[in-house]
Amino acid sequence: MAFWTLHCVSCQATYQPEEVHYTCPRCGPLLGTLEVVYDLETVASHFDRQQLRLDARANHWRYLPLLPIEKPEFISPLAVGWTPLYRQEALAREWGLADLWVKDDGRNPTASLKDRASSVGLVKALEQGATTVTAASTGNAASSWAAFTALAGLRTVIFVPRNAPRAKIAQLLLYGAEVLQVEGNYDQAFDLCMQAARQWHWYNRSTAINPYLGEGKKTAALEICEQLNWEVPDVVFVSVGDGCIIQGLWKGFRDLFQLGFIERLPQLVGVQAEGAAPLVQAWREGKDQCRPLEPHTLADSIAVGIPRDQVKALRAVRESGGRFMAVSDQEILDAIALLARKAGVLAEPAGATALAGLKRLVEEKQLTKDVRAVVLVTGHGLKDIDGVLKAATATPRTVEPSLEAVARTLKLD
Ligand SMILES: *Cc1c(COP(=O)(O)O)cnc(C)c1O
Ligand SMILES: [Zn+2]
């Protein structure tokens, strides 16, 4: 017997894990996303803070008792999670914050936070006996998925939009996926993947419709709490496309709160790009659902017009007392440069978007003094070289191979 059930976020129906694999049959894929609800008494009987202190695993499987896994023998050897949380004293002082930390989730096997979800998704696929798997993705979820599934010997069919960055395509091809580049945007790739998965009974790792992915993503929240010695930050900033990461974080904080590991919950600030901000719009209008739009932003990982995890994401931000906000592409580029210079962390555009949000709130004096903030960096800068190069203000200078030329160019004596 599994130690969890699946709850529909819209109609509250409860399902056993073997009854439903994706979304609530009554409410459909957009509104009927399912939440994993644990029997916390069972979890608490073999999981506590003291035990974690003694756990030497420097990866996110240290939280295995709080993950929906039945057959741990299917866990991939790739090392996911336990990414560094860097304290930013200089920036905190400059911005009048009590503390600021940057969590670098670009430090994952395929260089994005998506590995947290793929690693859990792989176990679920293997538990179900899948032989062919699929996903639609702007690039990171797919390239992450392909690394795990190809290594496990599964046939992997991937749907990406035409504009997916080249490095992400390279990852897909080299990990061994069959890559279908859809003549359209991410939202169209998503729908095509759903149809194909249904038609040929492929296991589907597309975000939000698979309830187990958010459980993997929540481990970023578990790590933040443990790395801060269970002193919960006041506010956590994260970039948002489909909304799966932000709802996963909220789930992680809530699980820890219910288990008594932490004494309070943080506010969550979801940061979108101005040209792809359906959740910001719904948030401002007080709606529970987004109006679809045509996304335009250089931050490809959050270029989403129909956020697939919108119900949970809106609820998470509301429950946390946080907010959604949007930043411009220029602010995102500025944040890439700032993060590289001040923190030594190179982020892809969507990876730096959360910092852009924090910077904006600081400039607008919208944060109360003495706030302790965490910024989550979700993807590495080498994932999108063309994107991050736009943030560079300098260009290399050409020199002849002589000391004299170096002296002349750098104006040295
Ligand atoms: C997927 C992704 C996001 C957004 O996550 P959602 O769950 O779609 O909101 C942000 N940044 C990066 C780098 C990503 O890969
Ligand atoms: Zn339902």
Residue 1 has pLDDT above 80, yes or no: no
**Contact 279 CB / ligand 1 (< 6 Å):** no
Q: Is residue 381 part of a domain?
A: yes
Q: Where are the alpha helices (H) located in 164-277, listed in sequence order?
A: 166-175, 186-200, 211-217, 219-227, 244-259
Establish whether residue 68 lines the binding site of ligand 1, counting it when its CB lies within 6 angstroms of any ligand atom: no
Ligand closest to the CA atom of residue 10: 2
Looking at the structure of the chain, the number of domains it has is: 1
State residue 76's pLDDT score. 98
Cβ 115 under 6 angstroms from ligand 1: no
Quote the pLDDT of residue 74. Answer: 98
Q: Rounded CA gap, 123 and 72, in Å?
A: 7
Q: pLDDT tens digits for 329-354?
A: 999 999 999 999 999 999 999 999 99
Strand residue runs (E) in 339-398: 372-377
CA distance 37 to 39: 7
CA 397 to centroid of ligand 1, rounded, Å: 35
pLDDT tens digits for 180-207?
Answer: 999 999 999 999 999 999 999 999 999 9
- Please provide residue 242's backbone torsions phi and psi, each rounded to the nearest 5 degrees: -75, -20
What whole-number distance in Å separates Cα of residue 381 and Cα of residue 43? 37
Cβ atoms of residues 101 and 375 within 8 Å: yes
Q: Which atom of ligand 1 is nearest to the CA of 247?
A: 7
Calculate mean pLDDT across residues 144-162: 97
Q: How far is the CA of 187 from the centre of ligand 1 (A)?
A: 14
Q: Is 242 in the pocket of ligand 1 (CB under 6 A)?
A: yes
Counting ligands in written order, the one closest to the CA of 13 is: 2
Interval between CA 390 and ligand 1 midpoint (Å)? 20
Which CATH number characterizes residue 371's domain? 3.40.50.1100
* Ligand 2 mean position, distance from CA 268 (Å): 25
Q: What is the pLDDT of residue 59?
A: 98
Structure tokens at 20: 């439903």
**Residues 163-175, buried b or exposed e (16+ Cβ, 10 A)?**
ebbebbbebbeeb
pTM of the model: 0.97
Q: Is the CB of residue 117 below 6 angstroms from any atom belonging to ligand 1?
A: no
* C-beta 140 within 6 A of ligand 1: yes
CB of residue 391 inside a 6 A radius of ligand 1: no
The answer to the question of residue 258 being in a domain is yes
Residue 18 within a domain: no
- Ligand 1 pocket: which of 145, 301, 332, 388 to mutate (most atoms within 8 A of CB): 301
Residue 253: exposed, middle, or buried by beta-carbon count in 10 A (0-12, 13-18, 19+)? buried
End-to-end CA distance of the chain: 76
pLDDT in tens, 231-248: 999 999 999 999 999 999
Sign of CA dihedral 363, 368, 369, 371: negative
Q: Determine, yes or no, domain membership for 63.
A: no
Enclosing domain of residue 246: 85-110+213-389
Residue 113 tokens read as: 């936070």
Residues 53-99 have pLDDT tens digits of 999 999 999 999 999 999 999 999 999 999 999 999 999 999 999 99
- The closest residue, in CA terms, to atom 14 on ligand 1 is 301
In a domain, 100, yes or no: yes
- The SS3 of residue 394 is coil
Ligand nearest to the CA of 32: 2
CA dihedral (158, 163, 164, 169) positive or negative: positive
- Quick one: pLDDT at residue 219? 98
Give all strands of the β-sheet with 14-15 in edge-to-edge order: 14-15, 4-8, 34-38
Q: Is ligand 1 within 6 A of the CB of residue 312?
A: no
301 lines ligand 1 (CB under 6 A): yes
Q: How many CA atoms lie within 13 A of 19 on its CB side?
A: 15
pLDDT at 369: 81
83 vs 144, 262, 292, 379, CA distance in Å?
Answer: 16, 20, 34, 12
**Which residue has better confidence, 370 or 105?**
105
C-alpha of residue 351 to centroid of ligand 1, in Å: 8
pLDDT category at 368 given cuts 50, 70, 90 is: confident
Q: Is 387 in the pocket of ligand 1 (CB under 6 A)?
A: no
**pLDDT exceeds cutoff 90 at 10:** yes
Helix H or strand E encompassing 316: helix 310-320
The CA–CA distances, whole Å, from 8 to 5, 169, 211 equal 10, 34, 10
Contacts of 12 (CB under 8 A, 6+ apart): none
Ligand 2 centroid to residue 289 C-alpha, Å: 15
Please check whether residue 281 lies inside any domain of the structure: yes
3-class SS shares of the chain: helix, strand, coil, % to 5: 45, 15, 40
Model confidence at 142: pLDDT above 90? yes
Q: For the chain, what is the mean pLDDT?
A: 97
Task: Tell me how far apart the alpha carbons of residues 261 and 232 are, in angstroms, rounded to a whole number.
Answer: 10
The pLDDT of 288-297, averaged and rounded, is 96
Dihedral of alpha carbons 303, 309, 311, 315, sign:
negative
99-112 per-position pLDDT tens digit: 999 999 999 999 99
Let me know if residue 304 belongs to a domain: yes
> Does 257 map to a domain?
yes
